[in-house]
Amino acid sequence: MSPTVPVSFKELLDTFELVSMANPLGEYQAFICRQTGKIYCHSDSEDFAEITDELPHDVEDDEKYIAVPDKRELDLGKPMVLDFAREFLPGAFDEVRYIFSKRGAYQKFKALLVRKHALEQWYDFENKATEQALRRWCEFNSIAVTD
């Protein structure tokens, strides 16, 4: 697989965040064209009508296009939270693990972070982990990035 034309990392990160936000319902997809570097975004939902492109007819061709992953595909859900808790909240690790064994975990986790005065630390950790994971994904998939 040959490297793609360079893709803006900022644009890819923004697209990744949108795909991750919408994908519990599978409402949003994005693909990178390996030949032009263009990112095509698509959704059948009215909520995303302004940011939806018409997909190329051959978007299923894995040699020409690659789907932008979501957070779960890059293990940026529960595994990342547990890594954070292990490193920054070791005294609350069991509580965090318990929170993530139930529904509504992120809301309860955020409340715990506020109580522990660790919310900003979490956001910094999450942003760095997301960027590192997305850059690794790009490297693995021979996607050249700029910025």
Query: What tens digit of pLDDT does each residue of 19-74 get?
Result: 888 655 567 889 999 988 999 988 776 666 566 677 888 988 989 999 999 988 99
Predicted confidence (pLDDT) per residue in 84-134, tens digit: 999 999 999 999 999 999 988 999 999 999 999 999 999 999 999 999 999
Between residues 44 and 142, the one the model is more confident about: 142
Q: Give pLDDT, residue 147.
A: 81
Strands 7-8 and 145-146 turn out to be: parallel
User: Residue 78 has which token pair?
Assistant: 């529960």
pLDDT at 78 over 80: yes
Q: For 11-24, what is the mean pLDDT?
A: 84
Q: Give pLDDT, residue 5.
A: 74
pLDDT at 13 over 90: yes
For helices 105-115 and 119-140, angle between their N-to-C axes, nearest 10 degrees: 130
pTM: 0.83
CB atoms within 10 A of CB 101: 9
